[in-house]
Structure 1
Amino acid sequence: MINVEPRCRIILDNDWAGDPDGLIGLAHHALSPANRIIAITSSLTNPMFGPPEGMAQAGADLAEDLLRVLKLPELATVHAGPDTYFTGQPRDNAAARAIIDAVRAGTSDDIPLILVCAGPLTNVADALLLEPGIAALFTLAWVGGSAANEDEYNCYTDPAAARFVLDNQQLGVWQFPLETYRQLVISVAELDYSLKTAGPGGAWLWERFNTVQVPDFVKFGPLWCLGDSAPLVVTGLDDVTCTFEETDSRPSRRTYTGVDSRLIIADFFARLRLHN
Protein backbone atom coordinates (compact mmCIF):
# COMPACT_ATOMS: atom_id res chain seq x y z
CA MET A 1 0.00 0.00 0.00
CA ILE A 2 1.07 3.58 -0.66
CA ASN A 3 2.02 5.15 2.66
CA VAL A 4 -0.67 7.65 3.75
CA GLU A 5 0.34 10.21 6.35
CA PRO A 6 -2.06 11.11 9.19
CA ARG A 7 -3.83 14.41 8.51
CA CYS A 8 -5.94 14.84 11.65
CA ARG A 9 -6.67 13.58 15.14
CA ILE A 10 -10.21 12.36 15.71
CA ILE A 11 -12.69 12.15 18.58
CA LEU A 12 -15.72 10.08 17.54
CA ASP A 13 -19.13 10.55 19.18
CA ASN A 14 -22.33 8.80 18.08
CA ASP A 15 -25.45 6.99 19.23
CA TRP A 16 -23.94 3.63 18.31
CA ALA A 17 -27.06 1.73 19.43
CA GLY A 18 -29.22 3.59 16.90
CA ASP A 19 -29.12 3.33 13.11
CA PRO A 20 -26.23 0.95 12.27
CA ASP A 21 -24.86 3.33 9.63
CA GLY A 22 -23.00 4.90 12.57
CA LEU A 23 -21.10 1.65 13.07
CA ILE A 24 -20.04 1.71 9.42
CA GLY A 25 -18.73 5.21 10.03
CA LEU A 26 -16.82 3.93 13.07
CA ALA A 27 -15.27 1.06 11.12
CA HIS A 28 -14.34 3.40 8.26
CA HIS A 29 -12.63 5.89 10.56
CA ALA A 30 -10.83 3.09 12.40
CA LEU A 31 -9.48 1.63 9.16
CA SER A 32 -8.40 4.98 7.64
CA PRO A 33 -4.66 5.69 7.99
CA ALA A 34 -5.17 9.41 7.32
CA ASN A 35 -6.65 9.94 10.75
CA ARG A 36 -5.66 9.09 14.30
CA ILE A 37 -8.51 8.27 16.69
CA ILE A 38 -7.79 9.54 20.21
CA ALA A 39 -11.18 9.04 21.91
CA ILE A 40 -14.58 7.42 21.26
CA THR A 41 -17.77 8.29 23.14
CA SER A 42 -21.34 6.98 23.04
CA SER A 43 -24.52 9.05 23.36
CA LEU A 44 -28.19 8.42 24.07
CA THR A 45 -30.53 7.30 21.28
CA ASN A 46 -33.84 8.64 20.08
CA PRO A 47 -36.86 6.97 21.77
CA MET A 48 -37.79 5.42 18.39
CA PHE A 49 -35.16 2.79 19.20
CA GLY A 50 -36.80 2.00 22.53
CA PRO A 51 -36.57 3.40 26.07
CA PRO A 52 -33.35 5.40 26.36
CA GLU A 53 -32.26 3.89 29.68
CA GLY A 54 -29.05 1.96 29.16
CA MET A 55 -28.80 2.76 25.45
CA ALA A 56 -25.65 4.89 25.70
CA GLN A 57 -23.84 1.99 27.39
CA ALA A 58 -25.36 -0.49 24.93
CA GLY A 59 -23.95 1.64 22.12
CA ALA A 60 -20.54 1.70 23.80
CA ASP A 61 -20.63 -2.09 24.07
CA LEU A 62 -21.51 -2.45 20.38
CA ALA A 63 -18.70 -0.11 19.32
CA GLU A 64 -16.17 -1.95 21.47
CA ASP A 65 -17.31 -5.30 20.08
CA LEU A 66 -16.89 -4.08 16.49
CA LEU A 67 -13.38 -2.80 17.19
CA ARG A 68 -12.44 -6.17 18.72
CA VAL A 69 -13.78 -7.99 15.65
CA LEU A 70 -11.67 -5.67 13.49
CA LYS A 71 -8.68 -6.60 15.70
CA LEU A 72 -8.14 -3.02 16.81
CA PRO A 73 -7.96 -3.53 20.58
CA GLU A 74 -5.99 -0.31 21.10
CA LEU A 75 -9.16 1.61 20.18
CA ALA A 76 -11.67 -0.57 21.99
CA THR A 77 -12.43 1.69 24.96
CA VAL A 78 -15.65 3.59 24.42
CA HIS A 79 -16.98 6.00 27.06
CA ALA A 80 -20.75 6.15 27.56
CA GLY A 81 -22.56 9.39 28.26
CA PRO A 82 -25.87 9.88 30.09
CA ASP A 83 -29.21 8.50 28.90
CA THR A 84 -30.92 11.84 29.57
CA TYR A 85 -31.05 15.00 27.50
CA PHE A 86 -28.84 18.05 27.97
CA THR A 87 -30.14 20.07 30.90
CA GLY A 88 -27.99 23.20 30.76
CA GLN A 89 -26.59 22.28 34.16
CA PRO A 90 -23.01 21.00 34.56
CA ARG A 91 -22.84 17.22 34.87
CA ASP A 92 -19.62 15.27 34.95
CA ASN A 93 -19.86 11.97 33.08
CA ALA A 94 -17.50 9.55 31.37
CA ALA A 95 -18.17 10.74 27.82
CA ALA A 96 -17.82 14.46 28.57
CA ARG A 97 -14.67 13.83 30.59
CA ALA A 98 -13.17 11.69 27.79
CA ILE A 99 -13.78 14.51 25.29
CA ILE A 100 -12.24 17.11 27.62
CA ASP A 101 -9.21 14.94 28.38
CA ALA A 102 -8.62 14.15 24.70
CA VAL A 103 -8.78 17.84 23.73
CA ARG A 104 -6.58 18.91 26.64
CA ALA A 105 -3.99 16.20 25.96
CA GLY A 106 -2.56 18.18 23.06
CA THR A 107 -0.05 16.78 20.61
CA SER A 108 3.57 17.21 19.65
CA ASP A 109 2.74 17.34 15.95
CA ASP A 110 0.79 19.91 14.01
CA ILE A 111 -2.27 18.03 12.77
CA PRO A 112 -5.73 19.44 13.59
CA LEU A 113 -8.21 17.95 16.02
CA ILE A 114 -11.72 17.18 14.72
CA LEU A 115 -14.59 15.98 16.86
CA VAL A 116 -16.87 13.95 14.59
CA CYS A 117 -20.42 13.73 15.94
CA ALA A 118 -22.98 11.88 13.85
CA GLY A 119 -25.64 11.75 16.53
CA PRO A 120 -27.23 14.09 19.08
CA LEU A 121 -24.85 16.69 20.49
CA THR A 122 -25.52 15.77 24.13
CA ASN A 123 -22.00 14.67 25.04
CA VAL A 124 -20.42 17.60 23.22
CA ALA A 125 -22.69 20.05 25.04
CA ASP A 126 -21.87 18.50 28.42
CA ALA A 127 -18.13 18.75 27.69
CA LEU A 128 -18.35 22.39 26.57
CA LEU A 129 -20.40 23.34 29.61
CA LEU A 130 -17.90 21.70 31.96
CA GLU A 131 -14.82 23.16 30.23
CA PRO A 132 -15.73 26.15 27.99
CA GLY A 133 -12.07 26.76 27.16
CA ILE A 134 -11.79 23.67 24.97
CA ALA A 135 -14.07 25.17 22.29
CA ALA A 136 -11.21 26.95 20.54
CA LEU A 137 -9.04 23.81 20.42
CA PHE A 138 -11.01 21.61 18.01
CA THR A 139 -13.38 21.70 15.05
CA LEU A 140 -16.77 20.00 15.25
CA ALA A 141 -17.83 18.00 12.19
CA TRP A 142 -21.54 17.37 12.80
CA VAL A 143 -23.97 15.23 10.85
CA GLY A 144 -27.23 16.90 11.72
CA GLY A 145 -29.61 19.81 11.37
CA SER A 146 -31.33 20.97 8.22
CA ALA A 147 -30.64 23.85 5.86
CA ALA A 148 -34.41 24.17 5.38
CA ASN A 149 -35.14 23.94 9.12
CA GLU A 150 -36.89 20.58 8.73
CA ASP A 151 -37.18 18.20 11.65
CA GLU A 152 -33.97 16.18 11.63
CA TYR A 153 -33.18 13.13 13.76
CA ASN A 154 -29.88 14.18 15.36
CA CYS A 155 -31.16 17.67 16.10
CA TYR A 156 -34.60 16.84 17.48
CA THR A 157 -33.24 13.97 19.59
CA ASP A 158 -31.71 16.67 21.83
CA PRO A 159 -32.52 20.16 20.50
CA ALA A 160 -31.28 21.91 23.64
CA ALA A 161 -27.83 20.38 23.17
CA ALA A 162 -27.79 21.38 19.49
CA ARG A 163 -28.67 24.99 20.31
CA PHE A 164 -26.08 25.22 23.06
CA VAL A 165 -23.26 23.82 20.92
CA LEU A 166 -24.03 25.68 17.69
CA ASP A 167 -24.43 28.99 19.54
CA ASN A 168 -20.85 28.76 20.83
CA GLN A 169 -18.97 31.42 18.86
CA GLN A 170 -15.57 30.05 19.86
CA LEU A 171 -16.24 26.71 18.14
CA GLY A 172 -15.45 25.91 14.52
CA VAL A 173 -18.27 23.89 12.94
CA TRP A 174 -18.36 21.92 9.71
CA GLN A 175 -21.97 20.84 9.29
CA PHE A 176 -23.40 18.07 7.11
CA PRO A 177 -27.14 18.84 7.19
CA LEU A 178 -30.01 16.54 6.29
CA GLU A 179 -30.11 17.68 2.67
CA THR A 180 -26.44 16.73 2.25
CA TYR A 181 -26.04 13.51 4.22
CA ARG A 182 -29.12 12.04 2.51
CA GLN A 183 -27.08 12.07 -0.70
CA LEU A 184 -24.90 9.32 0.74
CA VAL A 185 -26.98 6.28 -0.19
CA ILE A 186 -26.32 2.69 -1.21
CA SER A 187 -28.70 0.10 -2.59
CA VAL A 188 -29.77 -2.55 -0.09
CA ALA A 189 -28.56 -5.21 -2.52
CA GLU A 190 -25.06 -3.69 -2.74
CA LEU A 191 -24.93 -3.18 1.03
CA ASP A 192 -26.00 -6.79 1.66
CA TYR A 193 -23.55 -8.29 -0.83
CA SER A 194 -20.62 -6.03 0.06
CA LEU A 195 -20.88 -6.67 3.81
CA LYS A 196 -21.37 -10.44 3.54
CA THR A 197 -18.28 -10.77 1.35
CA ALA A 198 -15.96 -8.57 3.43
CA GLY A 199 -14.70 -10.91 6.14
CA PRO A 200 -15.50 -10.94 9.88
CA GLY A 201 -15.97 -7.18 10.17
CA GLY A 202 -18.40 -7.13 7.25
CA ALA A 203 -20.29 -10.13 8.64
CA TRP A 204 -20.58 -8.43 12.02
CA LEU A 205 -21.95 -5.26 10.42
CA TRP A 206 -24.31 -7.28 8.20
CA GLU A 207 -25.80 -8.84 11.33
CA ARG A 208 -26.41 -5.39 12.85
CA PHE A 209 -28.31 -4.22 9.77
CA ASN A 210 -30.38 -7.39 9.64
CA THR A 211 -31.38 -7.30 13.31
CA VAL A 212 -31.99 -3.57 13.85
CA GLN A 213 -35.19 -2.96 15.84
CA VAL A 214 -37.38 -0.09 14.63
CA PRO A 215 -41.05 0.85 15.11
CA ASP A 216 -43.64 -0.76 12.81
CA PHE A 217 -44.23 2.54 11.01
CA VAL A 218 -40.64 2.47 9.66
CA LYS A 219 -40.68 0.67 6.31
CA PHE A 220 -37.42 -0.15 4.53
CA GLY A 221 -37.05 0.67 0.86
CA PRO A 222 -34.45 -0.32 -1.75
CA LEU A 223 -31.90 2.26 -0.55
CA TRP A 224 -30.09 2.76 2.77
CA CYS A 225 -28.60 6.08 3.82
CA LEU A 226 -25.04 5.90 5.14
CA GLY A 227 -25.12 9.54 6.17
CA ASP A 228 -22.97 9.07 9.27
CA SER A 229 -20.00 8.46 6.97
CA ALA A 230 -20.22 11.94 5.40
CA PRO A 231 -17.47 13.47 7.63
CA LEU A 232 -14.92 11.05 6.14
CA VAL A 233 -14.39 13.72 3.47
CA VAL A 234 -12.78 15.95 6.12
CA THR A 235 -11.01 13.19 8.06
CA GLY A 236 -9.91 9.97 6.36
CA LEU A 237 -10.32 11.25 2.78
CA ASP A 238 -10.45 14.77 1.30
CA ASP A 239 -13.21 17.21 0.34
CA VAL A 240 -11.67 18.16 -3.01
CA THR A 241 -14.68 16.62 -4.85
CA CYS A 242 -17.27 18.08 -2.46
CA THR A 243 -19.04 21.44 -2.26
CA PHE A 244 -19.60 23.69 0.73
CA GLU A 245 -20.52 27.21 1.77
CA GLU A 246 -18.32 28.99 4.28
CA THR A 247 -18.78 32.16 6.27
CA ASP A 248 -16.06 34.78 6.71
CA SER A 249 -16.14 34.33 10.46
CA ARG A 250 -13.37 32.79 12.52
CA PRO A 251 -13.33 30.09 13.66
CA SER A 252 -14.56 28.39 10.52
CA ARG A 253 -18.30 27.88 10.00
CA ARG A 254 -18.85 25.67 6.98
CA THR A 255 -21.96 23.93 5.62
CA TYR A 256 -21.38 21.08 3.19
CA THR A 257 -23.86 21.05 0.30
CA GLY A 258 -22.51 18.04 -1.58
CA VAL A 259 -20.40 14.99 -0.73
CA ASP A 260 -18.79 12.42 -3.00
CA SER A 261 -20.82 9.29 -2.22
CA ARG A 262 -18.91 7.08 -4.63
CA LEU A 263 -15.58 8.04 -3.09
CA ILE A 264 -16.75 7.36 0.48
CA ILE A 265 -18.54 4.07 -0.17
CA ALA A 266 -15.87 2.62 -2.47
CA ASP A 267 -13.09 3.55 -0.04
CA PHE A 268 -14.90 1.92 2.88
CA PHE A 269 -15.45 -1.45 1.24
CA ALA A 270 -11.93 -1.47 -0.23
CA ARG A 271 -10.43 -0.83 3.24
CA LEU A 272 -12.67 -3.46 4.85
CA ARG A 273 -11.59 -6.11 2.31
CA LEU A 274 -7.91 -5.12 2.49
CA HIS A 275 -8.03 -5.25 6.28
CA ASN A 276 -9.52 -8.74 6.11
Structure 2
Amino acid sequence: MLIANEFSGDIDALFSAVHALLSRSTEVRGIIGCRARFVPGYPERTAERSVELVDEILRLMNLTGAVPSLLGSAQMSSSTAPSKSPGAQAIVDEAMRTDTVLPLYVAVGGGLTEVASALLIEPRVADRFTLVWIGGHADPKRPAENNFVIDPLAAQLVFNQFNVPIWQVPSDVYRTCMVSSTELQAFIAPYGAIGTWLYDKLLEDPRKHIPDQVSFGETYRMGDSPLVLLTALTDLLPVSANPSASDQRTSSSRYEESFAPYLNPDGTYTPRDSGRKIRVYKSVDTRLMFSDFFAKMRVNYDGCEQPN
Protein backbone atom coordinates (compact mmCIF):
# COMPACT_ATOMS: atom_id res chain seq x y z
CA MET A 1 0.00 0.00 0.00
CA LEU A 2 1.17 3.51 -0.86
CA ILE A 3 -0.51 6.52 0.73
CA ALA A 4 -0.66 9.86 -1.08
CA ASN A 5 -2.29 12.82 0.62
CA GLU A 6 -2.20 16.57 1.21
CA PHE A 7 -1.05 16.32 4.82
CA SER A 8 -0.48 20.07 4.97
CA GLY A 9 -4.09 20.71 3.95
CA ASP A 10 -7.07 18.98 5.51
CA ILE A 11 -6.37 17.71 9.02
CA ASP A 12 -8.10 14.36 8.42
CA ALA A 13 -5.15 13.15 6.34
CA LEU A 14 -3.00 13.01 9.49
CA PHE A 15 -5.51 10.84 11.36
CA SER A 16 -5.94 8.50 8.39
CA ALA A 17 -2.18 8.00 8.05
CA VAL A 18 -1.79 7.08 11.72
CA HIS A 19 -4.68 4.62 11.46
CA ALA A 20 -3.09 3.00 8.41
CA LEU A 21 0.27 2.67 10.14
CA LEU A 22 -1.42 0.93 13.09
CA SER A 23 -3.17 -1.62 10.85
CA ARG A 24 -1.35 -4.96 10.69
CA SER A 25 -3.13 -6.31 7.63
CA THR A 26 -1.57 -3.79 5.24
CA GLU A 27 2.07 -3.00 4.61
CA VAL A 28 2.62 0.71 4.07
CA ARG A 29 5.44 0.88 1.53
CA GLY A 30 5.66 4.65 1.48
CA ILE A 31 3.79 7.87 2.28
CA ILE A 32 3.73 10.61 -0.34
CA GLY A 33 3.38 14.19 0.86
CA CYS A 34 1.30 15.92 -1.80
CA ARG A 35 0.53 19.47 -2.79
CA ALA A 36 -2.47 21.15 -1.17
CA ARG A 37 -4.51 23.98 -2.64
CA PHE A 38 -3.52 26.49 0.03
CA VAL A 39 -1.89 26.29 3.45
CA PRO A 40 -1.56 29.46 5.57
CA GLY A 41 2.13 30.13 6.15
CA TYR A 42 3.27 27.72 3.41
CA PRO A 43 1.80 29.13 0.18
CA GLU A 44 4.59 27.94 -2.14
CA ARG A 45 5.72 24.73 -0.46
CA THR A 46 2.64 22.79 0.54
CA ALA A 47 4.10 19.46 -0.63
CA GLU A 48 7.29 20.06 1.34
CA ARG A 49 5.20 20.88 4.40
CA SER A 50 3.25 17.65 3.86
CA VAL A 51 6.50 15.67 3.97
CA GLU A 52 7.56 17.46 7.17
CA LEU A 53 4.30 16.40 8.82
CA VAL A 54 4.70 12.81 7.64
CA ASP A 55 8.21 12.75 9.09
CA GLU A 56 6.83 14.00 12.40
CA ILE A 57 4.20 11.23 12.45
CA LEU A 58 6.84 8.59 11.75
CA ARG A 59 9.09 9.99 14.48
CA LEU A 60 6.32 9.98 17.09
CA MET A 61 5.35 6.41 16.15
CA ASN A 62 8.99 5.23 16.23
CA LEU A 63 8.84 4.39 12.52
CA THR A 64 11.52 6.71 11.19
CA GLY A 65 13.46 4.77 8.56
CA ALA A 66 10.91 1.95 8.50
CA VAL A 67 8.47 3.73 6.16
CA PRO A 68 9.76 6.12 3.45
CA SER A 69 8.34 9.64 3.24
CA LEU A 70 8.31 10.91 -0.32
CA LEU A 71 7.86 14.32 -1.90
CA GLY A 72 4.91 14.64 -4.26
CA SER A 73 4.56 16.40 -7.59
CA ALA A 74 3.83 19.91 -8.77
CA GLN A 75 0.53 20.41 -10.58
CA MET A 76 0.45 18.96 -14.08
CA SER A 77 0.69 21.42 -16.96
CA SER A 78 0.22 18.96 -19.82
CA SER A 79 -1.71 15.75 -20.40
CA THR A 80 1.33 14.25 -22.11
CA ALA A 81 4.13 15.24 -19.72
CA PRO A 82 4.38 13.77 -16.20
CA SER A 83 5.12 15.95 -13.21
CA LYS A 84 8.02 13.85 -11.99
CA SER A 85 8.71 13.45 -8.29
CA PRO A 86 9.94 10.83 -5.83
CA GLY A 87 6.29 10.08 -5.03
CA ALA A 88 5.30 9.43 -8.64
CA GLN A 89 8.38 7.27 -9.16
CA ALA A 90 7.56 5.25 -6.04
CA ILE A 91 4.20 4.31 -7.56
CA VAL A 92 5.97 3.08 -10.69
CA ASP A 93 8.58 1.16 -8.73
CA GLU A 94 6.06 -0.58 -6.46
CA ALA A 95 3.69 -1.41 -9.32
CA MET A 96 6.47 -2.94 -11.41
CA ARG A 97 7.79 -5.20 -8.67
CA THR A 98 8.13 -8.86 -9.66
CA ASP A 99 9.00 -10.26 -6.22
CA THR A 100 5.41 -10.32 -4.97
CA VAL A 101 1.96 -11.24 -6.31
CA LEU A 102 0.08 -9.39 -3.59
CA PRO A 103 -2.09 -6.49 -4.79
CA LEU A 104 -0.91 -2.91 -4.56
CA TYR A 105 -3.28 -0.22 -3.36
CA VAL A 106 -2.53 3.44 -3.98
CA ALA A 107 -4.67 5.26 -1.44
CA VAL A 108 -5.20 8.92 -2.33
CA GLY A 109 -6.97 11.49 -0.20
CA GLY A 110 -6.23 14.52 -2.37
CA GLY A 111 -5.40 15.23 -6.00
CA LEU A 112 -4.35 12.60 -8.51
CA THR A 113 -1.15 14.26 -9.75
CA GLU A 114 1.23 11.52 -8.62
CA VAL A 115 -0.98 8.75 -10.01
CA ALA A 116 -1.39 10.45 -13.38
CA SER A 117 2.33 11.15 -13.57
CA ALA A 118 3.18 7.53 -12.76
CA LEU A 119 0.90 6.41 -15.59
CA LEU A 120 2.67 8.72 -18.02
CA ILE A 121 6.11 7.67 -16.82
CA GLU A 122 5.30 3.97 -17.24
CA PRO A 123 1.92 3.18 -18.88
CA ARG A 124 2.28 -0.52 -18.04
CA VAL A 125 1.46 0.17 -14.40
CA ALA A 126 -2.19 0.92 -15.28
CA ASP A 127 -3.41 -2.59 -14.49
CA ARG A 128 -0.89 -3.31 -11.73
CA PHE A 129 -2.49 -1.40 -8.84
CA THR A 130 -5.89 -0.38 -7.52
CA LEU A 131 -6.52 3.31 -6.94
CA VAL A 132 -8.61 4.05 -3.84
CA TRP A 133 -9.63 7.69 -4.21
CA ILE A 134 -11.45 10.05 -1.89
CA GLY A 135 -12.87 12.50 -4.40
CA GLY A 136 -15.40 13.46 -7.02
CA HIS A 137 -19.16 13.82 -6.72
CA ALA A 138 -21.85 11.18 -7.10
CA ASP A 139 -24.04 13.65 -9.05
CA PRO A 140 -22.72 14.04 -12.63
CA LYS A 141 -23.95 17.65 -12.82
CA ARG A 142 -22.11 18.92 -9.74
CA PRO A 143 -18.82 20.60 -10.70
CA ALA A 144 -15.48 21.03 -9.02
CA GLU A 145 -15.23 18.73 -6.00
CA ASN A 146 -12.30 19.79 -3.79
CA ASN A 147 -9.90 16.94 -4.56
CA PHE A 148 -10.67 17.18 -8.28
CA VAL A 149 -9.80 20.89 -8.20
CA ILE A 150 -6.31 20.21 -6.80
CA ASP A 151 -5.32 18.92 -10.25
CA PRO A 152 -8.20 18.67 -12.76
CA LEU A 153 -5.93 17.59 -15.60
CA ALA A 154 -4.56 14.69 -13.57
CA ALA A 155 -8.03 13.47 -12.61
CA GLN A 156 -9.20 13.61 -16.22
CA LEU A 157 -6.17 11.67 -17.38
CA VAL A 158 -6.65 8.89 -14.79
CA PHE A 159 -10.36 8.47 -15.53
CA ASN A 160 -10.42 9.12 -19.27
CA GLN A 161 -7.18 7.77 -20.72
CA PHE A 162 -6.06 4.79 -18.64
CA ASN A 163 -7.74 1.56 -17.55
CA VAL A 164 -6.81 1.89 -13.90
CA PRO A 165 -8.98 -0.09 -11.44
CA ILE A 166 -10.64 2.54 -9.24
CA TRP A 167 -12.49 2.38 -5.93
CA GLN A 168 -14.05 5.82 -5.56
CA VAL A 169 -15.47 7.34 -2.38
CA PRO A 170 -17.41 10.39 -3.62
CA SER A 171 -18.24 13.50 -1.64
CA ASP A 172 -21.71 12.45 -0.50
CA VAL A 173 -20.12 9.41 1.18
CA TYR A 174 -16.95 10.88 2.65
CA ARG A 175 -19.00 13.73 4.11
CA THR A 176 -20.74 11.20 6.38
CA CYS A 177 -17.46 10.38 8.16
CA MET A 178 -18.06 12.61 11.16
CA VAL A 179 -16.64 12.51 14.68
CA SER A 180 -17.09 14.91 17.57
CA SER A 181 -14.36 16.91 19.24
CA THR A 182 -15.23 15.14 22.50
CA GLU A 183 -14.68 11.73 20.90
CA LEU A 184 -11.24 12.82 19.73
CA GLN A 185 -10.44 14.28 23.14
CA ALA A 186 -11.48 11.02 24.85
CA PHE A 187 -10.23 8.38 22.40
CA ILE A 188 -7.22 9.97 20.65
CA ALA A 189 -5.61 12.66 22.83
CA PRO A 190 -4.78 10.47 25.88
CA TYR A 191 -2.92 7.79 23.95
CA GLY A 192 0.78 8.31 23.40
CA ALA A 193 2.75 11.20 22.00
CA ILE A 194 1.09 10.66 18.63
CA GLY A 195 -2.40 10.97 20.14
CA THR A 196 -1.52 14.22 21.87
CA TRP A 197 0.09 15.53 18.68
CA LEU A 198 -2.95 14.68 16.55
CA TYR A 199 -5.31 16.39 18.96
CA ASP A 200 -3.06 19.44 19.19
CA LYS A 201 -2.98 19.67 15.38
CA LEU A 202 -6.75 19.66 15.41
CA LEU A 203 -6.83 22.55 17.86
CA GLU A 204 -4.21 24.43 15.83
CA ASP A 205 -6.01 24.02 12.50
CA PRO A 206 -5.26 27.41 10.89
CA ARG A 207 -8.59 27.52 9.10
CA LYS A 208 -10.23 27.98 12.50
CA HIS A 209 -8.48 31.33 12.83
CA ILE A 210 -9.27 32.79 9.41
CA PRO A 211 -11.48 35.89 9.86
CA ASP A 212 -14.91 36.18 8.29
CA GLN A 213 -15.48 32.42 8.02
CA VAL A 214 -18.37 30.55 9.57
CA SER A 215 -18.01 29.34 13.13
CA PHE A 216 -16.95 25.72 13.47
CA GLY A 217 -19.09 23.44 15.60
CA GLU A 218 -18.21 20.40 17.69
CA THR A 219 -17.73 17.95 14.82
CA TYR A 220 -14.97 17.17 12.35
CA ARG A 221 -15.15 15.41 9.02
CA MET A 222 -12.61 12.58 8.80
CA GLY A 223 -13.22 12.02 5.11
CA ASP A 224 -9.90 10.28 4.43
CA SER A 225 -10.51 7.47 6.92
CA PRO A 226 -12.22 5.21 4.33
CA LEU A 227 -8.77 4.74 2.79
CA VAL A 228 -8.02 2.50 5.78
CA LEU A 229 -11.46 0.94 6.07
CA LEU A 230 -11.48 -0.27 2.46
CA THR A 231 -7.94 -1.66 2.41
CA ALA A 232 -7.21 -2.92 5.93
CA LEU A 233 -10.61 -3.72 7.46
CA THR A 234 -11.78 -6.28 4.92
CA ASP A 235 -13.52 -9.64 5.15
CA LEU A 236 -10.67 -11.57 3.54
CA LEU A 237 -7.05 -10.62 3.08
CA PRO A 238 -5.21 -11.38 -0.15
CA VAL A 239 -2.43 -13.95 0.24
CA SER A 240 0.14 -15.29 -2.18
CA ALA A 241 -2.07 -18.28 -3.03
CA ASN A 242 -5.09 -16.03 -3.67
CA PRO A 243 -3.90 -12.50 -4.43
CA SER A 244 -7.03 -11.17 -6.14
CA ALA A 245 -7.84 -7.63 -5.09
CA SER A 246 -11.22 -7.57 -6.82
CA ASP A 247 -12.73 -9.92 -4.24
CA GLN A 248 -11.61 -7.82 -1.31
CA ARG A 249 -14.46 -5.99 0.36
CA THR A 250 -15.93 -4.76 3.61
CA SER A 251 -19.41 -6.27 3.62
CA SER A 252 -20.93 -3.48 5.71
CA SER A 253 -19.88 -0.81 3.19
CA ARG A 254 -22.08 -0.66 0.11
CA TYR A 255 -20.85 -0.03 -3.41
CA GLU A 256 -21.95 -0.35 -7.01
CA GLU A 257 -19.87 -1.15 -10.05
CA SER A 258 -20.54 1.14 -12.99
CA PHE A 259 -18.81 2.16 -16.18
CA ALA A 260 -16.11 4.74 -15.55
CA PRO A 261 -17.53 8.15 -16.47
CA TYR A 262 -15.85 10.69 -18.72
CA LEU A 263 -14.57 13.56 -16.57
CA ASN A 264 -15.07 17.04 -17.99
CA PRO A 265 -12.71 19.98 -17.37
CA ASP A 266 -15.17 21.63 -14.94
CA GLY A 267 -15.46 18.54 -12.75
CA THR A 268 -18.82 17.38 -14.06
CA TYR A 269 -18.88 14.03 -15.78
CA THR A 270 -20.61 12.31 -18.65
CA PRO A 271 -21.87 8.79 -17.88
CA ARG A 272 -20.77 6.04 -20.28
CA ASP A 273 -22.32 2.70 -21.15
CA SER A 274 -19.15 0.90 -22.15
CA GLY A 275 -15.52 0.57 -21.14
CA ARG A 276 -14.09 -0.51 -17.81
CA LYS A 277 -16.14 -0.60 -14.64
CA ILE A 278 -15.10 1.09 -11.42
CA ARG A 279 -16.29 0.59 -7.85
CA VAL A 280 -18.23 3.59 -6.51
CA TYR A 281 -19.08 3.50 -2.83
CA LYS A 282 -22.59 4.43 -1.72
CA SER A 283 -21.94 4.15 2.01
CA VAL A 284 -19.11 3.25 4.38
CA ASP A 285 -19.24 1.61 7.80
CA THR A 286 -18.27 4.54 9.98
CA ARG A 287 -18.90 2.55 13.18
CA LEU A 288 -16.31 -0.08 12.27
CA MET A 289 -13.92 2.52 10.86
CA PHE A 290 -13.76 4.84 13.86
CA SER A 291 -14.16 2.17 16.56
CA ASP A 292 -11.20 0.30 15.08
CA PHE A 293 -9.06 3.44 15.04
CA PHE A 294 -9.93 4.36 18.61
CA ALA A 295 -9.32 0.78 19.78
CA LYS A 296 -5.94 0.61 18.04
CA MET A 297 -4.86 3.84 19.71
CA ARG A 298 -5.79 2.44 23.11
CA VAL A 299 -4.26 -1.01 22.53
CA ASN A 300 -0.99 0.42 21.24
CA TYR A 301 -0.57 3.45 23.49
CA ASP A 302 -2.50 2.90 26.73
CA GLY A 303 -0.14 3.61 29.61
CA CYS A 304 2.36 5.46 27.45
CA GLU A 305 3.86 8.55 29.01
CA GLN A 306 2.36 11.75 27.68
CA PRO A 307 4.59 14.62 26.51
CA ASN A 308 4.92 17.60 28.82
**Given the two structures, how large is their TM-score scaled by the length of structure 2?**
0.81
1:160 alignment counterpart: 153
1:205 alignment counterpart: 198
User: Cα RMSD (Å) of the superposition?
Assistant: 1.9
2:227 alignment counterpart: 231
1:263 alignment counterpart: 288
Count of residues in correspondence between the two structures = 266
- Indicate conservation of the 8 Å contact 1:54/1:83, yes or no: no
Deviations 1:142-185 (A, max 9, x none): 00000123432111121111111111342000000000011111
1:5 alignment counterpart: none
Which piece of structure 1 moves more, 212-221 or 259-268?
Answer: 212-221
In 2, Cα distance between equivalents of 1:86 and 1:43: 16
**Given the two structures, how large is their TM-score scaled by the length of structure 1?**
0.90
1:181-196 equivalent positions in 2, closer than 5 A = 181-196=174-189
- Whichever residue aligns with residue 30 of structure 1, its letter is L
Percentage identity across aligned positions?
32
Structure 1 unpaired stretches of 5+: 1-9
Deviations 1:200-229 (A, max 9, x none): 111111111111212432532221111101
1:243 alignment counterpart: 254
Equivalent position SS for 2:252: coil
1:4 alignment counterpart: none
- Whichever residue aligns with residue 190 of structure 1, its letter is E
- Indicate conservation of the 8 Å contact 2:258/2:279, yes or no: yes
- Indicate conservation of the 8 Å contact 1:55/1:83, yes or no: no
Which piece of structure 1 moves more, 17-26 or 231-240?
Answer: 231-240
In 2, Cα distance between equivalents of 1:233 and 1:211: 26
1:3 alignment counterpart: none
Equivalent position SS for 1:227: coil
1:172 alignment counterpart: 165
1:117 alignment counterpart: 108
In 1, Cα distance between equivalents of 2:143 and 2:182: 29
- Whichever residue aligns with residue 227 of structure 2, its letter is P
Q: Which has the higher helix share?
A: 1
Select the structure of larger CA radius of gyration.
2
How far did 1:48 drift?
Answer: 5.8
Aligned pair partner of 1:29 in 17, 20, 23 = 20
Structure 2 unpaired stretches of 5+: 235-249, 260-273, 302-308
- Indicate conservation of the 8 Å contact 2:8/2:46, yes or no: yes
Equivalent position SS for 1:254: strand
Equivalent position SS for 1:17: coil
2:55 alignment counterpart: 64
- Whichever residue aligns with residue 256 of structure 1, its letter is Y
Equivalent position SS for 2:87: helix
Equivalent position SS for 1:160: helix
- Indicate conservation of the 8 Å contact 1:69/1:200, yes or no: yes
Residues 100 and 202 (structure 1), Cα distance of their counterparts in 2 relative to 1, 3 Å cut: same
Equivalent position SS for 1:241: coil
1:94 alignment counterpart: 86
Which piece of structure 1 moves more, 264-273 or 48-57?
Answer: 48-57
- Indicate conservation of the 8 Å contact 2:167/2:278, yes or no: yes
